[in-house]
Amino acid sequence: MAAFASLIAFCQPAAAQTTRIDASSWSAYKAKFLDTSGRIIDNANGNISHSEGQGYGMWLAYLANNPADFEQIWYFARTELLLRDDGLAVWKWDPSATPHVTDTNNASDGDMLIAYALALAGSAWDNQDYLEAAAKIANALLAHAVVKSGGRTILLPGVDGFDAPGRKDGPVINPSYWVYEAIPVMALLAPSDAWHTLTIDGLALLRSMQFGPRKLPADWVSLRRQPQPAEGFDAEFGYNAIRIPLYLARAGVSDKELLLRLQAGMTGSDGLPATIDLKTGQVKQSLPDPGYRIVNDVVACVTRGTKLPESSRQFAPSLYYPSTLQLLGLAFVGEKHPECL
């Protein structure tokens, strides 16, 4: 109970619950992506659902100050995904498959997002069940996915398949799985110094991962020796990594050199964010969706005080992932940097 009291004290300054996502934007988001069952639909990925999407959906419902929608999304997560014996969620749910769970491995960022959303909502809405569920997931992450390797504390992307001896180049990490603003909350839910070290080592790794001519991290990185793009994955700064600068800004990481390096590296000659071939530095795909563009806009806001362009401030949901990033970006700027609106 003392830990929960500390958690509530930590969360509530940011959570003295005001609405950070306006009702019209949240209504548009849930009309596009929230099924009546409570699952968030990834409409660019075969309409599957996953633990990441449920965590994002819960987080956005909290930011929209909508307890009923939060509970609906959480209901699907706890009944359809929290099936593993270790307290973590299976990562993938496919409506076209029978059974719907086609891969029982977890995705550690999805687990962290769910736990973080539960902690915020439990604190803001005085819901002990949410706090207890958040603590259970955080303790499971600490026990099974937060590991020491090569003198570093790292977050395995999943419990299975990312470490030696199963992978010869293991451990393999995904640097976009570090949800930096959530990690201090995990430390309150599951007390351990490992969480602080996870943040310190994650940021140190980000600063060191300067692959190819654009000096960018890869989506998937082997830490067997010096960090390098992992075998069996495209050596790219891809859809996973695109959210890293947003996570850094939301967490209050004020390392301008890091933020501006990432912004410059991920921007094509047309001024749009892009996925990047790390070996050549060439753009693989430009990303014009406002949900991707807002990542660079947030960096410009926090480093230079630049106002967000009108195109990023207008929300019209298209695909699940960039639409999610756009709402997280708008909620952050509205709360922490209203001068950029």
Is 158 within 8 Å of 172 (Cβ atoms)?
no
The token pair that represents 67 in the structure block = 């307890």
The catalytically annotated residue of 109, 111, 201, 236 is 109
Is 7 within 8 Å of 119 (Cβ atoms)?
yes
Among candidate residues 282, 101, 95, 115, the one with its CA nearest the CA of residue 184? 115
Distance of alpha carbon 12 from alpha carbon 36, whole angstroms:
30
Is 231 within 8 Å of 169 (Cβ atoms)?
yes
Q: Determine the 3-state secondary structure of 48 from DSSP.
A: strand
Residue 80 is a catalytic residue? no
**307-322 as b/e, with b when 16 or more CB fall inside 10 Å?**
bbeeebbebebebbbb
The catalytically annotated residue of 52, 80, 236, 277 is 52
Chain centroid to CA 7: how far? 20
**Coarse DSSP helix, strand, coil percentages of the chain, rounded to the nearest 5 percent:** 50, 10, 40
Residue 193 is a catalytic residue? no
Catalytic positions, please? 52, 109
